[in-house]
Amino acid sequence: MKKSILALASTLFLSTSVFASDMAKGLNVVLTAKETQTQMMAMVLAMNTLKLKKEVNIVLCSDAGDLADKNISSEKMKPLDKSPKMLLQGLIKQGASVKVCPLYLPNASKDESVLLDGITVAKPNEVASKLLEKDYKVLSY
């Protein structure tokens, strides 16, 4: 019985190690959606990616750019009773890279002074480079 349990434990450990090594290095999220529920799902998946010790890069464009604006609030969602903006701020604190697309601010008649701490304006060549890296998964909402 002890040998069976030891064998099972060894198999689980080895398969977990192989699985972890097969994972992507990180996640690139391009978020444009206005809907709170969609924004929340993007933030939840990004948060869980960080918990797996993987890199997270987020680019906010169009209506989702409002998440970067410190003057605009976002609606809280159940069951977490948190908003996408609250999760976004947590992601930044945990090391996620968050940028707004370069079209957002000028087309919303805003400047960088409205951005939350830790959010900068994306450079298209850097975003394109990250999106093309084969070791990263891409989510676009």
Where do the structural domains in the chain lie, given as residue ranges? 24-140
Q: What is the mean pLDDT of the chain?
A: 90
For the residues 48-67, what does the mean pLDDT come to? 98
Contact 114, 69 (CB under 8 A): yes
CATH 3.40.1260.10 fits 24-140, yes or no: yes
| Closest to 65 (Cα-Cα) out of 20, 138, 115 | 115
For the residues 27-36, what does the mean pLDDT come to? 98
Query: Predicted confidence band at 98 (pLDDT cuts at 50, 70, 90)?
Result: very high
pTM: 0.84
pLDDT at 73: 95
